[in-house]
Amino acid sequence: MSAAQALLRAWPADPRDQLPLALWSAAEVEAATDGRASHAFRASGVEMDSRDVRPGDIFVALKGEAMDGHKFVDAAFAKGAVAAIVDRPIDYPHVLVKDTTKALHDLAHAARERSSAVRIAITGSVGKTGVKEAIFTSLDRSSRGAAHRSVRSYNNHVGVPLSLARLPSRAKFGVFEMGMNHAGEIAPLADHVRPNVALITTIAPVHIEHLGSEEAIADEKAQIFTGLVEGGTAIIPADNAHTPRLIDHAKALGFNFVTFGRSADADVRLLDAIPSAHGGSLVTAELGDRRVCYTVAEPGEHWIDNSLGVMAAVRAAGGDLAAAGLALAEMGGLKGRGARFDIAVPGGKALMLDESYNANPASMRATLRQLGQTPAHRRVAVLGTMGELGDFSARFHRQLAEPLADAKIDHAILVGDEMRHLAAELGKAAADPLGFAPSFAHCEDSAQAIAQLEQFGLTHGDAVLVKGSNFLGLGKLVTHFTNASG
């Protein structure tokens, strides 16, 4: 026997190797949904949007108040769908069910029950998607590609079951993001996933228009713990004003909890953070019985805190901390959530920070602080309206004047109706003792913001932050300047 053959024989057996490679067969979908299949098929994916169908997908024809997915069956099969889940017969391979939404939920639960994957659920007012991606990348690295996650921000009553229905039976880990904007939305999502580990990133006044107070937001976010399986672990931020409230929720449900942050009594505690040469940080943290040192590629104090939560979740899930450190060192910013672009300008290049997907008071302060720490000739902030703040909106927009001044922003372009409150605050602010006061302009929409930034005239060495709620479409501004640069 050759040495190579001996090594192959010694390769550890994994029961997952006996599981089918296909995500779903017709028989499995029938059994999960109590439906009736018209043809035999094997599918590699599940999709609910005909525009996103890839060859090999099952298309689920969901029916909503304004749209019926059955109208897009032809488009789905034109894109390569192998079957559809429908509530009426069609002239394509399909599984006939009574209710397609219930069928998606049934498929999600069947995927969960057949898999031995450790499931991690993430919610919080800020940082959910970035933390989800960091945890997934950490676990995917250590499991050699056997980790699964919800894509994009599929974190609502449709996105979570869809993400769960896509969980391969061979997966070792599954990472799921959960969001909400009204009370009563987190618990059903947690019940779908039934996580082994549930992480809350932080509590901040996001969606306060619908919940009324930060305490109510904390109570709603804590409902993620209601889905934890027996022996599950709650991961809780240690430095938040509502930490005791979150701990009380975990204790009341009888679950173990782990805290992370800068507090002296945090279970995963920051010991030191040193700025690195490329804008990130070199972090040293204590995890009770050990210390770890790793690099965080993403700049900003908030990412130092996020990384501690990542480490806590990876350890609770049985992952590899060394792989987590490598993943954090290699992560780049996500589109709309921290991506960094060099754009061509007269005399050289300027830096554009793309935070255009979402905005709230906490994330605005964090990213303005990050911009203030970024070496630059001039610092420019393009800030859009923060949505879903209700009666608190005027106050939270006015309060951005302070972090703008602290970050020494040279020019601010304020976009959207609610940003008039900040414009009024900046208009009455006097220069600081050193004579510093930012110039600013107010715009109605992204098109005007593009024109305003062009009129301002970026030059070599400038740094530009673009941040606002997604409905404003400030991503168009990022695309405009990055395309012009390319």
pLDDT tens for each residue of 439-454: 899 999 999 999 999 9
User: Which pLDDT score is estimated for 311?
Assistant: 98
Counted residue by residue, the chain has a size of: 486
Residue 106 forms part of a structural domain: no
The enclosing domain of 455 has a CATH number of 3.90.190.20
Q: Smallest Cα–Cα separation from 384: which of 471, 270, 286, 261?
A: 471
Residue 148 forms part of a structural domain: yes
Same domain, 272 and 344: no
Reported as a pLDDT band with limits 50, 70 and 90, residue 430 is: low
Q: Return the CA Rg of the chain.
A: 24
Residue 25 forms part of a structural domain: yes
Same domain, 239 and 324: yes
Number of domains into which the chain is organized: 3
d(CA 296, CA 227): 31
DSSP class of 471: G
Same domain, 67 and 197: no
Same domain, 364 and 313: no
pLDDT tens across 107-125, in order?
999 999 999 999 999 999 9
d(CA 267, CA 308): 10
Q: What is the mean pLDDT of residues 268-276?
A: 92
Same domain, 287 and 193: yes
Same domain, 239 and 351: no
Same domain, 294 and 390: no
Residue 395 forms part of a structural domain: yes
Assess contact for 366 and 302: CB atoms under 8 A: yes
Please report the sign of the dihedral spanned by the C-alpha atoms of residue 304, residue 315, residue 143, residue 255.
Answer: negative
CA 51 to chain centre: 22
User: Which pLDDT score is estimated for 427?
Assistant: 84
Same domain, 305 and 400: no
The enclosing domain of 25 has a CATH number of 3.40.1390.10
Same domain, 380 and 430: yes
Boundary-marking domain end, from 330, 357, 388: 330
Beta strands in 145-200 (DSSP E): 147-149, 173-177, 197-200
d(CA 169, CA 138): 20
Reported as a pLDDT band with limits 50, 70 and 90, residue 7 is: low
pLDDT tens across 368-398, in order?
988 998 889 999 999 999 988 888 899 999 9
Same domain, 181 and 307: yes
Boundary-marking domain end, from 77, 101, 125: 101
Residue 261 forms part of a structural domain: yes
d(CA 1, CA 4): 8
Boundary-marking domain end, from 71, 101, 131: 101
Same domain, 217 and 127: yes
Residue 208 forms part of a structural domain: yes
Per the DSSP assignment, residues forming a β-bridge with 94 are 84
Residue 107 forms part of a structural domain: no
Q: What is the mean pLDDT of residues 17-43?
A: 90
**pLDDT of 227 above 80:** yes
Q: What does DSSP say about strands 42-43 and 24-25: parallel, antiparallel, or unpaired? A: antiparallel
Reported as a pLDDT band with limits 50, 70 and 90, residue 218 is: very high
Enumerate residues 6+ apart whose C-beta is below 8 A from 368. Answer: 381, 400, 403, 404, 406, 407, 409, 465
Residue 7 forms part of a structural domain: no
Assess contact for 24 and 58: CB atoms under 8 A: yes
**pLDDT of 335 above 90:** no
* Domain extent for 181: 115-330
Q: What is the mean pLDDT of residues 79-88?
A: 97
**Terminal alpha carbon distance of the chain:** 57
Same domain, 255 and 308: yes
